[in-house]
Structure 1
Amino acid sequence: MSQKPVRLLTEGALSIALSLLLWYLRIGAMPQGGSISMQMLPLFIFALRWGTLSGILVGLVYGVIHSLQDMYVVHWAQYLLDYPIAFSLIGLSGIAKKVKASKIITFFIALLFLAGSILFVVNISNELPQAQKTLEELKLKLQSAQGEEKTNIEEDIKDLEFKLKWFPISRIVLIVAGILGALLLIYGAVLRKTQEPIELGVFIGGLGRLFAHFLSGVIFFSQYAPPGTPAWIYSLIYNLFVVVPSTFVCLPLILLIYPRLKESEI
């Protein structure tokens, strides 16, 4: 009997267990859920080793179990998007196992990633002055407001204060992550001994998780978007702040660990 199924199941279980433990090593937490951590590290490595389907299944199981650690649910569909679906899509990084990519393609993706990061930083910079102006207007309006109107204005003020506090930090995080991410992609391509694009696999898996959280934010958390900010921009920036740093905390470790695991295979 082949040992491959046993190894697959064993590594899958270990990946889930390690991800559950690594979630506790997190940096802060966002108001509507999400935190920066290395919980994705074992899931990325498992998908790169065993492929997309196995990676998706293990990610799905992890998402369900992880929801018991950090559950924030307003609707059953939001639960599916933010937990089973989001973490199962990390398994898309297994695409790299079957794809052969030239270094030029990796360089091009790195430039696109950096350009996208700069674009979002510019967008945030443009929004902040208007947010400050709107906040001052709402505080003046609050003085004469009563009842439900007063409650709504207080919520809007709270959201704007959150934006003014965290968006400048997000601006720094995005530009650092953009530069670091682009450098790591190029670094991985330069050092890559085979055509297997490890760094692109991680990029795709992180993008998959980001997409699920993004949809959840647009559909179920649009009311948290500060006045004047489209729901899709708010959701994208909010989730970029969580997923991008988490992905690029994992990437350099994956570039070090995965090739050595592969060399040790019998």
Structure 2
Amino acid sequence: MKNFRLVVLIEIALCAAFAMLLDFIPSIKLSPAISISFKMVPIFIVAFRWGVKAGFVSGLLWGLLKVVTGDAAGGILTPLQGFIEYFIAFAFIGIAGFFQPLIQSSIQEGSRRKAVFWAAIGVFFGSLARYFWHFLAGFIFWGKYAPKGQSAVLYSFIANGTSMIGSFILCAIILGILISMAPILVKKLA
């Protein structure tokens, strides 16, 4: 039992580190506030293999790595804003783990198509949960950067909504391909 827990902890750490490595690949920048990437994929893999708790821990660890390495330095205005955007938001990617039982049962049945469907739903909710926190921080802390005449709420909704939809689509496509070709990546060990 201890070895099994150790395997989960190692996978959490490795996937958080892999997400951090993916941060070195430039995102698709539509504007200074809108960025689309597939960097959440390793966190989704952990969530789909081990569930919500492991997904939360892996996302939280990724956010912590961003802060510790200074990668988040330009994006932190206040300690509270930094906490919301780098610890809470990143941890909430783990919400995708709620779909872990459906994905696991689909893989057990041999239905890759069903597993891809549930993974896409999980990616949507994990992305939505993450960007909800970015949206809140956006209009509370970043609203002063909204274009003249535009409300801070609308500015944050547009910037974070566009980032969320783009990242969701990109992550869902990549995970769909990975699950179709190698479902073992998200299959829970016995």
- The TM-score range, normalised by the shorter chain, is 0.7 to 0.9
Q: What is the distance in 2 between the residues matched to 1:193 and 1:79?
A: 35
Could you tell me which runs of 5 or more consecutive residues in structure 1 were left unpaired when the two chains were aligned.
101-188
Distance in structure 1 (CA, Å) of the matches to 2:76 and 2:90: 16
* Aligned match for 1:261, one of 177, 185, 188: 185
Alpha-carbon separation, structure 2, partners of 1:218 and 1:205: 21
2:90 maps to which residue?
Answer: 87
Tell me, yes or no, if the aligned pair for 1:26 and 1:38 is still in contact at 8 Å: no
Tell me the equivalent position of 2:150: 229
Deviation at 1:213, TM superposition (A): 0.4
Query: By how many angstroms is 1:16 displaced?
Result: 1.0
Unaligned runs of 5+ in 2: 104-110
* Pair 1:201 & 2:122 matched: yes
Supply the distance in 2 between the matched residues of 1:262 and 1:76 (Cα, whole angstroms).
35
1:23 and 1:38 in contact (8 A); partners too: no
SS in 2 for 1:227: coil
Contact 1:218 1:232 in 2 (8 A): yes
CA contact (8 A) 1:93 1:204 kept: yes
Deviations 1:23-80 (A, max 9, x none): 1112355535x63322111001111111111111111111011122132211111101
Task: Give the deviation of 1:219 after TM superposition.
Answer: 0.5
Summarize the Cα distance change of 1:263–1:9 in structure 2 as closer, same or farther, 3 Å threshold: closer
Shift in Å at residue 253 of structure 1? 1.7
Taking the aligned partners of 1:244 and 1:207, their CA distance within structure 2 comes to: 8
Amino acid at match of 1:20: M
TM norm structure 2: 0.81
Task: Give the residue type in structure 1 aligned to 2:71.
Answer: Q
* Greater CA drift, 87-96 or 36-45: 36-45
Q: 1:97–1:28: structure 2 CA closer, same or farther, 3 Å change rule? A: closer
Alpha-carbon distance change, 19 to 262 in structure 1, aligned in 2, over 3 angstroms: closer
For residue 130 of structure 1, what is the aligned residue in structure 2?
Answer: none
Indicate the RMSD between aligned Cα atoms, in angstroms: 2.5
Contact 1:82-1:212 at 8 Å conserved across structures: yes
TM-aligned CA distance change 1:263 to 1:28, over 3 Å: closer
| In 1, Cα distance between equivalents of 2:76 and 2:132 | 18
Q: Which residue of 113, 120, 124 maps to 1:191?
A: 113
2:42 corresponds to which residue? 42
Counterpart for residue 11 of structure 1 = 11
> How much does 1:11 deviate?
0.7
Report whether the alignment pairs 1:246 with 2:167: yes
| Alpha-carbon shift at residue 193 of structure 1 (Å) | 5.6
Q: What residue number does 1:66 align with?
A: 66
Contact 1:26–1:35 at 8 Å: present in 2 too? no
